[in-house]
Amino acid sequence: MTFEVPAHSTPTTIKPASRIRQKNEEAIIKAAEDEFARHGFKGTSMNTIALNAGLPKANLHYYFTNKLGLYVAVLSNILEQWDNTFNGLSVEDDPAEALSNYIRAKMEFSRRQPLASRIFAMEVISGGECLTEYFTQDYRDWFSSRAAVFQSWIDAGKMDPVDPVNLIFLLWGSTQHYADFATQICRVTGRTRLTKQDMEAAGDNLIRIILKGCGLTPPTA
């Protein structure tokens, strides 16, 4: 099986008006991500987002009535993309291949959308009040179902007995680190930026470390 970083797509059957709406919403979300990541919620203005999205402010308010609603939409978009990447995990999978593919997908997300990861990190650090409606019982049930997949592998003797919950947190934190703390990594290592090759090499190392900690042999690339 493979994991892919989800991307928005526009089916050919979508009506022109719907296609325009989708295009505008995606442009607004992208511009909002840039602004929220650089200036935080308080330091971001709807005027600047509209300008960067190439839309009149009135159009921006047509899609998102206020800044808080847009901010929550940005956070939800980030989490949905991350969660969709995890939805493909199945008890029938080979754990070594499944974990390797997931780590690579998350590292690719961190490379392609670092600002999105930083927005989420800042929100959580500040208390996560805007995530309250997202982390409902439904989300907790979804999380438990993901942890249950790991437990099924353990029960079947496919991997060493580790705490599935902490393993998931380790997978999330280690892969998002390369987006959230890229500045620190670059300064410590003397790089000006993290390249695709840097991210792939980091992913290879995470795969070796995490899989061996689970008693798994990393699959041959």
**CATH value at residue 34:** 1.10.10.60
61 and 98 belong to one structural domain: no
Give residue 35's domain range: 12-65
196, part of any domain: yes
CA distance 49 to 141: 35
pLDDT (0 to 100) of residue 161: 97
Q: Which residue, 23, 52, 166, 185, is CA-closest to 107?
A: 185
Total domains in the fold of the chain: 2
pLDDT (0 to 100) of residue 92: 95
26, part of any domain: yes
For tokens 């200036």, the residue is 39
Give start and end residues of each alpha helix (H) in the chain: 16-39, 46-53, 57-63, 67-86, 95-112, 114-125, 137-155, 164-180, 182-189, 196-213
Q: Are 50 and 112 in contact (CB under 8 A)?
A: no
Q: Is the pLDDT of residue 11 over 80?
A: no
3, part of any domain: no
Span 106-125, pLDDT tens digits: 999 999 999 999 999 999 99
Q: Is the pLDDT of residue 186 over 80?
A: yes
198, part of any domain: yes
| pLDDT range class, residue 46, cuts 50, 70, 90 | very high
pLDDT (0 to 100) of residue 134: 85
7, part of any domain: no
pLDDT (0 to 100) of residue 221: 66
Averaged pLDDT score across all residues of the chain = 89
157 and 57 belong to one structural domain: no
pLDDT (0 to 100) of residue 17: 62
CA distance 51 to 46: 9
45 and 89 belong to one structural domain: no
76 and 143 belong to one structural domain: yes
Q: Is the pLDDT of residue 60 over 80?
A: yes
| pLDDT range class, residue 84, cuts 50, 70, 90 | confident
6, part of any domain: no
pLDDT (0 to 100) of residue 16: 62
Q: How many CB atoms lie within 10 A of CB 121?
A: 17
- Give the CA dihedral 33, 35, 39, 44, nearest 10 degrees: -110
CATH number at residue 146: 1.10.357.10
Determine the residue type at 131: L
159 and 76 belong to one structural domain: yes
| pLDDT range class, residue 10, cuts 50, 70, 90 | very low
